[in-house]
């Protein structure tokens, strides 16, 4: 194998004779190309799925919540529309300390809950719904966020 040693810009460079450089056989290149195409396709799929519009489940939940707010629904009306799979927090009555810990860790939720002393919490696989209630247990605000 012939090689030349030269100095370029203060660096030692060794150039190899390209006729002596080993090449991959064609049968070895095809799997590499297929792997590259699959990786590029996977990356493109991730980008497209992550930038698509709001989830239909989220849109449906938003519509229900807006309707509840517009009629200042009571807790009974809320559970009739959204279901009974919720956690109820009330200051001094239930596990409010747990909610306070969440509010300290998540300022976005704390900002929406504000000074309310009653909160309903719904959760699904994809997102969380925090419903803020007033002293008469009527909805005043909500916060919908990803898990």
pLDDT tens-digit map of 112-124: 888 899 999 998 8
Per-residue pLDDT at 1: 47
Q: Kind and range of the H or E element at 66?
A: helix 56-70
Q: Could you count the other beta carbons within 10 Å of the beta carbon of residue 144? A: 16
- The first and second tokens of residue 112, run together, are 């929406």
The alpha carbon of 48 is separated from its chain's Cα centroid by a whole number of angstroms, namely: 14
pTM (2 d.p.): 0.62
Low-confidence ranges of the chain (pLDDT < 70): 1-28, 48-54
């Amino acid at each position: 194998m012939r090689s030349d040693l030269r100095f370029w810009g203060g660096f030692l460079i060794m150039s190899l004779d390209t006729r002596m450089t080993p090449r991959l056989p064609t049968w070895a290149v095809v799997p590499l190309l297929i792997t590259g195409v699959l990786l590029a396709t996977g990356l493109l799929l991730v980008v497209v799925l992550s930038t698509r519009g709001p989830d239909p489940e989220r849109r449906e939940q938003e519509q229900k919540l807006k309707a509840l707010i517009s009629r200042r629904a009571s807790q009974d009306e809320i559970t009739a529309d959204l279901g009974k799979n919720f956690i109820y927090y009330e200051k001094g009555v239930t596990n409010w300390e747990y909610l306070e810990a969440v509010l300290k860790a998540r300022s976005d939720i704390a900002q929406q809950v504000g000074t309310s002393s009653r909160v309903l919490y719904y959760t699904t696989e994809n997102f969380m719904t925090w419903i803020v209630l007033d002293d008469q247990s009527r909805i005043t605000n909500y916060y919908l966020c990803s898990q």
